[in-house]
Structure 1
Amino acid sequence: MSDLDRFHAQEGLVFGFVPAQVVADLKDIGNWKVRACAIDALHRTLLNAKGKGDVARNLPELLDFLMALVGDPNFKISLSSMQIIGDLVAKVGRELSPFLGGLVPKLIEKLGDNKIMVRQAGIQVLRKLMAALGPMPVLDMLAQGRRHGSWRVREEVAIMHIMVRGETMKSNKIVDLHEFIT
């Protein structure tokens, strides 16, 4: 039995695969060093999860937890959470379809962040969602951002749509840009 397996057996698991101590450490708002280590541990745990079964079983709770972390004021926690969600998309794919309505609006908000790394992380997650679920469901939800108060959000939403249009034109699936903008 490895040290990690012993740790899991002793501490219990949250979301079916995450050590409870990792989640507890992430909730320790006053200790940024512990939280930074915990977010890295959460990411490693997701990457090391075998198959998608354990992850998919507790997907609603896991996504709620991760989306709360996306909104965290700590830059590292927020950025790492989006990277974890991107890897979660790669792991469970289409299983995320019912949760798109909770994911995309929070990611739209991150497109207006002052830090470019945060905006880029949001874009990467949106691209992964498009790859896993097809572009149209994500674009339909992204349309919420076209009248957003932040020019950055409006710009990124338009760029995402143009990018998808260019990619879909190659495959003869035309997306009407004028319809999207108006």
Structure 2
Amino acid sequence: MGWLRNFIFGTDPAYDDAGLPKQVRDWEEAKNSDMSLQPDNVAGDEREEGRHGGDQRTEPNAYRTVSGTKVLPTLTVDRVEPHTSNNLANLELWITLHNRSPYDIEITKVDLLKQSTDPDRFLRAGESHEIRVYHGQTPRDRAYTKAYIDLKITGTGDYFRQEYMINYDLKTSGGASWYVPDALRKSLPPRDI
């Protein structure tokens, strides 16, 4: 529906060309620049200096940047696959999650269309997996625009919640309209819970 908004009102300066909010794009660029600034190997003398109080920076790892801030998890929904009944009244929704973080995570909860699932699925760094997140009636309207995925960093035990906006595809059958989710897009950076 972003194309319709752009057609009527012109382009929204809060969103980039790909339809992502600029907050998310800026967060991803800042995260990537922090990751590129991390040295691959810190010399022993520098580590010793840090232990004795000369330089208070922490040694970078997969969970912390050079400046000591947390490396937030990056979880994307690469594919949304709806399976509808012949008359479109019932829907089963599968999504493919991709862990783009430099560490392992666990998907603990998915909230979508008034349903909550607990997949308890572990994803290694760079791994993808498909999970079923909804089974029930196909929505008749677009009342539910947000989905939430809770995850845990397995190495630290930190919990985060990622918010996604639901894009719908309008379908008709027998004179009735049905809204079938066809994409989940990040709307904000993950937040600590």
TM-score when normalising by structure 2:
0.21
RCO greater where, 1 or 2, for CA within 8 Å and sep 6 or more? Answer: 2
Q: TM-score, normalised by structure 1?
A: 0.22
Higher strand share: 2
